[in-house]
Amino acid sequence: MIPQFVSKRLIGRQCLPHAHYIFHILRGQIRLKSSTVFSGMQPTGVAHLGNYLGALRAWGQLSTSTPQQFDNTIFSIVDMHALTLPPPPDKLREYKLTAAALIIASGVDPEKCILYVQSEVSGHAELCWILSCFSDIGYLNRMTQWKSKMNLTENSSVTDDAAVQNLRLGLFAYPVLQAADILLYKATHVPVGQDQIQHLELARHIGKRFNSAYDTKVFPLPDVLLTRTPRVMSLRDPKKKMSKSDPAEHSRIMINDPPELIRYKIKRAITDGDKSLTYDPVNRPGVANLIDMVAGLQNRTPEDVAEDVKGFGGHAELKEFVADVITKELQSVRENFQRLSSNPEYLDRLLRRGAERAGEIAQATLKEVKTTVGIY
């Protein structure tokens, strides 16, 4: 099934098309010539349901669509980004292979795309330095992720005492590396979640500034591919995003959770005292979260799912239904993940081959960039 796309002009209208997987393009029309999809995933261990719906499954469908919608589909395990909050070195090495197993188990075909580890292509760091010379401190100061990772308010500034004392340059400036990741491959489309759109805007800003400074068109300005899937929230606090860092283990569904554990977690999910089943994310976030999960997994609207479940006998029947849908979806993913994880040599070969292919593209872009700025 071919993923379908819509232009910015249609966003918000009720006539949005339904497909096996639906994206929104926030800028312009899709370009079928000289088009490249790029996206990256930090190696942080086993993924949860939110990661799967928000990124992994979308990657799989982009890499296997027939006919191919894009000339190049490139996915990176961005281990250099993981150093902003560095894990133990042995864990980082382990997590890179875990990420590769997750990506392939979720449907990405390594024969139809480029899958590699970021640090194996030196062009990322080289281009990051060049682009940092075109990046504004003020723009980076307005980025929200470094503030959230430091538990600061959105109005915080890099000049605040808390930031001056504790903020590291890598965490503050990593959006420039993210821009380099994208522009290095001249990506035209980047599939992201809602919380990453700000970073795509920065990549466009830096690319446009570079092009303008040298009166060139070295970098295409990438469009955002935004999935229709709603944000998956915590099972224990449906007003918070599902997260691996949440100390409550029952707050999230992990990709490798066995069926009985999935059912136990869904059974304990927080809902409310109203026995009726309606979709109201503001006033009934717990029930809405369960409906959103089914909608995302079945490629339907939440309203459609809500219409189907309104005749259920109550929350218990809804939770049983949700658990059935999740366990069915994740069964093959879990089995493939376990099989791939037991063969690290195979994963390592795939990643090395992907790095070679990515490196060829990166070197061509770097030659063009270095020639443009005068250092080649």
pLDDT per position as a tens digit, 92-145: 999 999 999 999 999 999 999 999 999 999 999 999 999 999 999 999 999 888
Q: How far, CA to CA in Å, does 262 sit from each of 204, 229, 324?
A: 40, 20, 9
The torsion of the CA quartet 364, 366, 368, 373, rounded to 10 degrees, works out to -170
Q: Which of 28-37, 121-130, 188-197, 259-268 has the lowest mean pLDDT?
A: 28-37
- Which DSSP string corresponds to 144-187? SHHHHHTT--TT--TTSHHHHHH--HHHHHHHHHHHHHHHTTT-
Is 217 a known active-site residue? no
Q: How many whole angstroms separate alpha carbon 118 and alpha carbon 102? A: 16
Please count the CA atoms within 13 angstroms of the CA of 361 that sit on its side-chain side: 20
Res. 22: pLDDT tops 80: no
The average pLDDT across 20-49 equals 69
DSSP code of 248? Answer: -
Q: How many whole angstroms separate alpha carbon 106 and alpha carbon 100? A: 10
pTM listed for this prediction: 0.88
The average pLDDT across 271-291 equals 96
The average pLDDT across 160-169 equals 87
Which member of 147, 208, 240, 241 is catalytic?
241
- pLDDT at position 16 is 32
Phi, psi of 313 (to 5 degrees): -75, -10
End-to-end CA distance of the chain: 44
pLDDT band at 66 (very low <50, low <70, confident <90, very high): low
Res. 28: pLDDT tops 80: no
DSSP code of 1? Answer: -
pLDDT band at 153 (very low <50, low <70, confident <90, very high): confident
Encoded amino acid at 332, one letter: S
Q: Which residue has the higher pLDDT, 176 or 24?
A: 176
- pLDDT at position 117 is 98
Q: How many whole angstroms separate alpha carbon 185 and alpha carbon 70? A: 13
Which member of 149, 208, 310, 367 is catalytic?
149
* Tens-place pLDDT, residues 229-239: 668 999 999 99
Q: 191 and 228 in contact (C-beta within 8 Å)?
A: no
pLDDT band at 226 (very low <50, low <70, confident <90, very high): confident
- pLDDT at position 122 is 97
- Which DSSP string corresponds to 101-141? HHHHHTT--TTSSEEEEGGG-THHHHHHHHHHTT--HHHHH
Q: How many whole angstroms separate alpha carbon 198 and alpha carbon 302? A: 26
**Which of 12-16, 66-70, 190-194 is most confident?**
190-194
Q: How many whole angstroms separate alpha carbon 45 and alpha carbon 99? A: 7
Q: 322 and 289 in contact (C-beta within 8 Å)?
A: no
Q: Which of 20-24, 118-122, 314-318, 355-359 has the lowest mean pLDDT?
A: 20-24
- pLDDT at position 147 is 87
Q: 84 and 118 in contact (C-beta within 8 Å)?
A: no
- pLDDT at position 166 is 86
- pLDDT at position 77 is 98
- Coil, strand or helix: which one is 271? coil
Res. 67: pLDDT tops 70: no
- pLDDT at position 207 is 98
pLDDT band at 162 (very low <50, low <70, confident <90, very high): confident
* Tens-place pLDDT, residues 191-223: 887 778 888 999 999 999 999 999 999 999 999
CA 351 to chain CA centroid, Å, is 19
- Bridge partners (DSSP) listed for residue 76: 40, 116
The Cα angle at residue 265 between residues 262 and 271, in degrees rounded to 5: 130
Crossing angle of helices 302-309 and 285-298, rounded to 10°: 110
Which member of 8, 244, 267, 370 is catalytic?
244
Is 239 a known active-site residue? no
Is 149 a known active-site residue? yes
* Tens-place pLDDT, residues 283-311: 999 999 999 999 999 989 999 999 999 99
Q: What is the mean pLDDT of the chain?
A: 89
Cβ contacts of 331 within 8 Å, gap of 6 or more: 259
- pLDDT at position 64 is 81
Res. 366: pLDDT tops 80: yes
**Which of 58-62, 70-74, 76-80 is most confident?**
76-80
